[in-house]
Homo-oligomer: A and B are copies of this chain.
Amino acid sequence: MDSVDNVNIADYPSTNHLLGMTLDGSAYHHGDLRAALLTEAAAMIDEGGTLSVTMRAIGRRLGVSRSAPYRHFADKSALLVAVAAAGFDRLRDRLEAVGAGAPGAGIDQLRQIGEEYVRFALENPGHYRLMYGKEAITRRDQPELREAANALFDELVRIFRTHQQSGSIKQQDPQVQAYVAWGAVHGVASLLLEEQILTAVDADGLIRQTTATLLDGVRAGR
């Protein structure tokens, strides 16, 4: 039993260490296992779906033992929550960057933000899938996750409020407006990610059409 695991090379009576590394390249202390676990987990999800992420496999890929990850995360769910939360943070950063870098605050900024949102999802399918769909996440009400998601949402609300003040979009509850927009971009992103869309369809065109329709719906005036 457990034949695969026993392939572990580290018969760790190997001294000869230097800065945590042994001469044969193996290391007892990984260096920054926690960070490595986060990126590796996301990579594995991208490759083979959430199912393919197992604590043992991830340890194997990083060259540590099967239970080393437990030193950094209470359990598998906690690891995945951390990955998801990191995803929300990164997404928020990207949207903020677009907001900051956009020339003027015309309605075109909204379009850019919407498209950036979908782009992020397509570029980081692993993170994105985990951010929504609590499939792999056990405990309800992960405060870390909820906070990160709320921070993203607050940023969206802020953006819509700003545009309402400049008069480019309809005056209405900015929170609802933000949810509607969030839903729309999340929806397309999700359909594209889950390959629900016929390959013959031009994804970029679809994304543009989504933001365009949405903007037509919120634009001020007629």
Contacts and interface: CB of A to CB of B under 8 A. Distances in A.
A188 B153 CA distance: 14
Q: How many copies does the complex hold?
A: 2
Interface stretch (A5-13, A34-42, A105-113, A210-218): A210-218
Contacts of A201: 175-176, 179
A49 B134 contact: yes
Contacts of A190: 132, 183, 186-187, 190
A57 interface: no
A70 B153 CA distance: 44
Given A180-B209, A186-B187, A187-B188, A135 B135 contact: yes
A120 interface: no
B51 A138 contact: yes
A188 B138 CA distance: 22
Contacts of A177: 209
Contacts of A175: 198, 201
24 contacts: A49-B134, A49-B135, A49-B138, A50-B135, A51-B136, A51-B138, A129-B133, A150-B198, A175-B201, A176-B206, A177-B209, A179-B191, A179-B197, A183-B184, A183-B191, A183-B210, A184-B184, A184-B210, A186-B191, A187-B187, A187-B188, A213-B214, A214-B214, A216-B218
Given A129-B133, A182-B187, 8 more contacts: A49-B135, A49-B138, A132-B191, A153-B198, A179-B188, A180-B206, A183-B191, A215-B217
